[in-house]
Structure 1
Amino acid sequence: MHAFLGRLAADPGLRADFEALCDFGGRVQGTPATEAAFAWALGRMREIGPAVNEPVPYQGWTARRSAVSLPDGVALPHVPLFGSAPTGPEGVTLDVLDLGRGAPDDVAAAGEAVRGKAVLLGHEYPFAPWTIHRRFKLAAAAEAGAAACLMVQPEPGIGPVSGGANGLAVPCFGIGIEVARRIAGRRVHLALEAEAGPATSPTLVLDLPGGGEGRVVLSSHLDGHPLGESAMDNATGVVAALALARAVAPSLAECRRGLTVCIFGAEEWALSGSKTWLAEMDPARRGRFRFNLNLDSIAGHPRLTALTSGFPALGPFVRRAAEAIGAEVAIHLPFMRNSDHANFADHGIPALRLIAGFDAPEGVLRHLLTGADTRAVVPPGELKAAALTAAAILWASLTAGDEELSSFGASRGAGT
């Protein structure tokens, strides 16, 4: 392990790759810039070994034109949410109802007042046990008869928030708190011309043999959002996965199992990329996957947490691995469907997401999905420390006994 960690600590490519990936911008799936970013990542993987692209289908969506404006025509800053239903070319003018946090209980309490309105729903810190995810708020509002939904980013000076509407049958937009205050209780004009249709997402795969037939899957997602540089979410995870693969490759022959590195797309589209890749895979190949370490938003706060997907034995395993290098990792056992690890867990493969800033809403990860998610908020030392902790977990999973690793899946409990 010491040689592996030494190579990783000395690797200048970690920060250089981070800067290069951020240069592609927000990396919205299906855009030319994102295709170029995937080509760049595939080239970096091929410097390590025989990487390939295994593309998968997903339901794509493209916004042609969008507008949020006052009835007198004054345009307001906004962003359409992925997968939103269009309004038609003329748009719609609606009364605006402020539902505060916008939890399903808030929607229910408003009763018939929701019907036919454009409703304001509060965006909240996405990584905490108390979080109510955007999809639940949007779904509740649509089911109650809302004619449109606007997710409100609550911090002044940051601007609108992005995200997915995941095929909801009403138009959905992200706005900032300043816009929300301006339109609450008034009328607003909304327009969205968009089209959905079959599309294809890259899945970059690098398979590196080890001392046995099994594989540890090291994963991250490259796609992001139109605002900022998608730096924390998830340039941090992609470049760490590349650095770990470079550093561990010379040592894999002494490991009990090999390494499969996966860089997914369409993660921001309801985890579609990894879901389809795993579902359409030959079961024999999938059966060789012993463990998934998913790196997603691993910098932005100095504290790391492993979301262990309801696998109780993973927590002690991760803590021991981190302690071996003097690091600490908090554990959150209940299953959270917020990144690609969830699709591995659905197939019974022990899986965790390593994330920074869990239950720390004061940290800069509160700016995910906004224009403030840029390279400037990721200190080099924080990214390197997170990569080294991930490396310790990776090494433990590559070298653990078969009996220990197989026991993780057998112990999955009610936390799912």
Structure 2
Amino acid sequence: MTDWIGETFTSDVGWNHLETLVDIGDRMAGSDGERRAAEATRDALADAGARDAHLAEFDIQGWERGTSSLDAAGETYDQRHEVIALPRSPSGTASGELVDLGYGLPRDFEDADLDGKVVLARSDVPEWYDRYLHRREKYYHAVEAGAAAFVYRNHVDGCLPPTGSVGTDADPVGDIPAVGVSAEVGARIARRADGDIVDVDVTAAIEDATSQNVHATLGPDSDDELLLTSHVDAHDIAEGAMDNGAGTATVVQVVDALAKRENDLDTRVHVVCFGAEEVGLVGSAHLAERADHDDVAAVLNLDGVCQGRDLGFYAHGFDELADAIDDVADRMGHPAYVTPELGPHSDHWPFVKWGVPGTHVYGKTPGDGRGWGHTHADTLDKLEKRDLREQGIVLAELAVELASDDTTIEHRDPDEIAAQLEDEDQAEGMRITGDWPYDD
């Protein structure tokens, strides 16, 4: 029966929830807005047909944005379109000689004298470089080199300073003040202040807080389960429509479709919309530490979907998972770009790093890096209802495929995951950010 496809393609269930999330406003981890978004998601999952929809709380390191400024070449930059603090930056003022490291590649840090200096680094990497460098990797290279402060320069034009957390699991608050500046401010200070003394100032409220995961279930009461996941929280500077309101809204849309196909599910679907993803995957790590990994058949994680009409998938070296994605994409006639590489930067990772099969699903977009993500421009007007509906159909079909008795995806040995990270040159960055989980 294909009636569910037509019903999903004309459904407003997911889009209505997306509007609910963006209209809440600030959904920063640990905030009242994040709590209200989680409660709304719980209710939306229940209305869509999921069972036992509830919240599960956990403690986090709270961080609330105050003011931030950058003084350089006789000018003060303190407007929100110019400079913003990076979440979990410590409060404080730092002064030092500005050193423009350009892209901030690992070798750039090795070749420079950064002790007591203020490091300026771009948010992208050159086309010829073989991997993405996460913001936290550049930050901790600066910390390790003895820098006094870190300035993260957006590569996307439009007066859009980038946000994104610093800190580690062991030390959730970073070591040195950190701010993001727009591409325009970055270009100006690189031209006018490189080699001069600059001042970076950050104020923030740092105290204990509480976040929560949203749980619900569909399908039979089987021993194993498929995790269908997203994250509810977003950075406080924008609506968080793309990252990750659309992911959570699509989960609701998928649940609405699966509730109509519950007899097609051979395996329980455990829906989890995580809290505190943007500050270190805290919600998903909380669940992964308490879950029996042998009982998790696969993780289907939606983070960044609907940004483009086509879908991208990290398959993380699980060949049977890649085959299942390709089969569904062919069957549904929907483009799917599958990479076997590891992507250690979303809520699948606390499971995948220990060998649990998992895929990170996102919307394919042109350009490098996050684009409008993690900026003031992450707003609802960038998204299309059509894309949410279409992707909801494809991902519901994929969920049924992954929950089928006919689909078996072997878990991988964590040593294989570690070796693949080494081969892909990702291990170095994970070690410096404190994210390397393996014994060397």
TM-score by length of 1: 0.90
Please give the per-residue CA displacement for 1:251-283, whole angstroms capped at 9, x wherever unaligned.
2234211211100011111111100122034x3
Q: Which residue of 2 aligns with 1:407?
A: 410
- Name the residue aligned to 2:148: 147
Conserved? CA contact 2:38–2:55, under 8 Å: no
Aligned to 1:350: 357
Residue 233 of structure 2 aligns to which amino acid in structure 1? D
| Contact kept in structure 1, 2:257 and 2:396, CA below 8 Å | no
Q: Which amino acid aligns with 1:98?
A: D
Q: Distance in 2 between matches of 1:75 and 1:82?
A: 18
Measured in 2, the distance between the counterparts of 1:377 and 1:105 equals 36
Corresponding residue of 1:74: 76
Aligned to 1:398: 403
Q: How many angstroms apart in 2 are the aligned matches of 1:380 and 1:6?
A: 15
Which residue of 2 is the match for residue 323 of structure 1? Answer: 330
Q: Following the alignment from structure 1 to structure 2, what is the Cα–Cα distance between the partners of residues 12 and 212?
A: 31
1:136 alignment partner in structure 2: 137
Tell me the amino acid that sits aligned with residue 311 of structure 1. Answer: F
Matched, 1:24 2:24: yes
Q: Which secondary structure state, in structure 2, belongs to the residue aligned with residue 97 of structure 1?
A: strand
The CA RMSD over aligned residues, in Å, is: 2.5
**Which residue in 2 is equivalent to 1:372?**
377
Q: 1:362 to 1:280 in 2, by over 3 A?
A: closer
Provide the residue aligned with 2:6 in structure 1: 6
* Residue identity in the other structure for 1:163: G
Structure 1 residues 14-23 or 369-378, which shifts more?
A: 14-23
- Partners of 1:125 and 1:366 within 8 A in 2: no
Aligned 8 A contact 2:94 2:148 in 1:
no
Q: Which amino acid aligns with 2:145?
A: A
Q: How far apart are the structure 1 equivalents of 2:319 and 2:206?
A: 40
Decide whether aligned partners of structure 1 residues 211 and 254 sit closer, same or farther in structure 2, where only a CA change above 3 A counts: farther
Q: Contact 2:103 / 2:125 at 8 angstroms: preserved in 1?
A: no
The verdict on how the C-alpha distance between 1:125 and 1:26 changes in structure 2, with shifts beyond 3 A counting, is farther
| Ranges in structure 2 where 5+ consecutive residues have no aligned partner | 168-172, 422-440
Equivalent residues in 2 for 1:67-216, closer than 5 Å: 67-70=69-72, 74-76=76-78, 77-87=82-92, 91-110=93-112, 112=113, 114-124=114-124, 130-166=131-167, 167-184=173-190, 185=194, 186-210=196-220, 212-216=222-226
1:30-89 CA-to-partner distances (Å, cap 9, x unmatched) read 2222222122112212323320111122222233433323475733321111111221xx
Q: Map of 1:272-291 to 2, 5 A cutoff?
A: 272-281=282-291, 283=292, 286-291=293-298
Tell me the distance in 1 between the aligned counterparts of 2:7 and 2:138.
45
- The percent identity for this pair of structures is 25
Q: Please tell me whether the aligned partners of residues 224 and 295 of structure 2 are also in contact (alpha carbons under 8 angstroms).
A: yes
What corresponds to 1:388 in structure 2? 393
Alpha-carbon distance, 1:95 to partner: 2.4
Deviation at 1:213, TM superposition (A): 3.3
Runs of 4+ in structure 1 over 4 Å off: 70-73, 408-414
1:151 to partner: Cα distance? 0.5
TM-score by length of 2: 0.85
Question: Once structures 1 and 2 are overlaid, which stretch shifts more, 68-77 or 249-258?
Answer: 68-77
Secondary structure of 2:233 counterpart: coil
TM-aligned CA deviation for residue 158 of structure 1 = 3.4
Alignment check: 8 A CA contact 1:304 1:330 kept? yes
1:312 matched to which residue of 2?
319
Q: 1:67 to 1:311 in 2, by over 3 A?
A: same
